[in-house]
Structure formats: structure tokens, C-alpha cells
A = this chain, B = another copy of it.
Amino acid sequence: MKIAVLPGDGIGPEIVDEAVRVLKVLDLPLEMEFAAVGGAAYEASGHPLPAATLKLAQDADAVLFGAVGDWKYDKLDRPLRPEQAILGLRKELGLFANFRPAVCYPELVHASSLKPELVAGLDILIIRELTGDIYFGQPRGRRTAVDGHFPGSEEAFDTMRYSRPEIERIAHVAFQAARKRGKRVTSVDKANVLETFQFWKDVMIEVGAQYPDVELDHMYVDNAAMQLVKAPKRFDVVVTGNMFGDILSDAAAMLTGSIGMLPSASLDKNNKGLYEPSHGSAPDIAGKGIANPLATILSAAMMLKFSLNQPEAATRIESAVAAVLAQGLRTPDIWSEGTQKVGTREMGDAVVAAI
């Protein structure tokens, strides 16, 4: 099994290192090949997603991804910025289904900004469509307005769009995921304002009819944002478009208090996937050896389960992570009184030892 390993920028290399060590100790026939991505790739070769990196990812069975981005690239033209690498990978690899679990670890209930009773036991799954919507819709650009409030003035524009098959396939992913969980899907839209999301809602209802065992409800995105902060446990599976999913999944991850622990998977139609932590590249703490590697280690576990058909190995990793938490080990981001503060490497060591 071939894995493309793309550490990226900021804390990416440190946390990916630990995930790779964990994978190695499992003694599986894994072939891991590294390549530069993001700002690191731009520095090395002038492009955030070099052709060789893309090819490696295309030829691999799965991609393990760290994080990309740093303030210092903010002044670059957009096509050269680190984020373009992740957008390019999603698009070129057809990774349309993004799984973002928002889980509150029992040990971290008090790390949440929400009151403990609102997050204890929280376990929701946000499924975000990842290759459509206003992220990729054409046309887009700048032009002179011909209508609107100020005809004749300079304007910028983007196109939001979803086609029926795009909505259908993400709907099936959501309903099938819900079958393995609480059997409830909440589709988040803005059907009261947007044509795109009225269509989204219509197609969700159609596909939902094929899953009579799964309960489907609909929520406007503004209300969904409110319910997430008020009573997140009311959700099971949340499915939404690329733009709304970007916002809601980050809010949900943050309010678990466990964002340093949350993995994510982005899958194509054959369950080939890219796996990355839910958090970002955190350039402010890069190189200090204090970043939490657990989200990346758990992303590697997701990879074994979803793309490489190694559910047992995945479970070994997950149990090891549970064990180190139970031992009281914490990186600074999740540390609290009475637990033992450790660095990135020590945390990785502990997981390896627990396996």
C-alpha cells in the first residue's frame, strides 16, 4: 500500500513525523513516500502544488497531509499561495466528501468553551461537500458592473453552483454514514435565499426517500450556527455544501475543546482519500516541539480504516491514543491542572509505546 506523505508548513512536519512513526510500528506493508506541499513547495520549486507532488498523490492509495499556510505568503499572488495546494489536491483527486467528526473527548470536557454538560458525550459528524459550490464555480473575477446598485463601478464576483449528481453523491455518503451511527441527517441549506440551496434541499429530500430508516431534517445555515453553539448534541450527521461546511465544521471542532485531537478525511468516489488534522499550520508554534500530534495520528487511523481496509490497525491506534490520554499525558493545547504536560515527540513516543 502506497501512501503519499505531504507534511507542508508550520507544525505540519513535526506532527506528520509522529504519525509516520506510529504507522511504522504497526508493521504493515506500507510504502511511504514524502513530497513538499504548500509554502515549503513554493520555496523549493516555485509552486505550492508541484507536478511531482500531485503525481505522487495521484499514484498513491492514500495521502497523509500535515497542514499548509503561513502569514509570510499572504502577499503572493493567489495561485501561488499555500492554500492553493489543498484546493488543487481536492479538485484533481476528486475528493468530494469531507468527513469532519466533532467529538468531545471525556478527558477534555473542561477544555471546551461551552459548559461541560453541553459537550460531555458530544459526537457529531459533519459531512462537507468539498469539490463544488462557490469554491470552484466559474465564472469568477473582477469586471465593471453593468447592473446592480452601482453600474459602471469596479466589482468582483464568484459563482455558487451545484449540479444534481454532485448533490446526490454527497447525499448518499451522508445517509450511509448515518446508517452506521444515530440514523439522523440534518441537511444545512439557505433555501430561503439561494437558488443553489433550494435545489440542494430538493435533491436531499429525493435521495432521502431511498433511506426510509434514516430521519432527515433541514436547517437554515444561520439557525444551524445557533444550534451548534446552543445545543450541539442535538445533531448526529450534518451534511452541507463546501462554503457552509467550512464555517460550521470549524466552529463545531473548536467548541469540542478537542480541536488538537480531531482528524479529518476527504474521500473520492472509490474511498481513496486525503487525511489531515482539523486544525491548521499554527506557524506561531512551529518548530517548538509543543504541537499536538494526536489529530494527525488519528487521521492516520482514519486512513487505515477508510482507504486501506485495515480496521484492526486503525483500532490499535485509537486505543493507544485513548490509553495515553488516560495516563494523563497532554500537550500544552489540552493541558489542565493535574495532568502531565508533554511535547510533540514525547506524545508520539507514548502512542508508539502504547501500541
Residues of A in contact with B (beta carbons under 8 Å apart): 78, 81, 83, 87, 113-115, 118, 131-132, 134-138, 140-142, 145, 147-150, 153-166, 190, 192-200, 221-223, 225-226, 228-231, 243-244, 246-248, 250-251, 253-255, 259
Contact = CB atoms under 8 A, between A and B. Distances in A.
B251 A225 contact: yes
Contact of A246 (B158, B221, B231, B254): B221
A255 B162 CA distance: 32
A202 to B, nearest CB: 9
B159 A163 contact: no
Given A113-B115, A247-B222, A156 B230 contact: no
Contacts of A228: 251
B157 A159 contact: yes
Contact of A226 (B81, B197, B243, B254): B254
A155 B163 CA distance: 4
A166 B148 CA distance: 10
B137 A165 contact: no
Contacts of A200: 156
Given A225-B251, A230-B113, A156 B198 contact: yes
Nearest to A200: B156
Contacts of A190: 243, 246
A153 B165 contact: yes
A81 to B, nearest CB: 7
Nearest to A135: B193
A83 B166 contact: no
B160 A153 contact: no
Given A83-B193, A87-B193, A159-B160, 11 more contacts: A113-B231, A114-B114, A132-B149, A153-B163, A156-B196, A157-B162, A157-B195, A158-B159, A225-B251, A226-B250, A247-B247
Contact of A159 (B87, B113, B142, B159): B159
Contact of A115 (B81, B115, B198, B254): B115
Contacts of A118: 113
Contacts of A197: 156
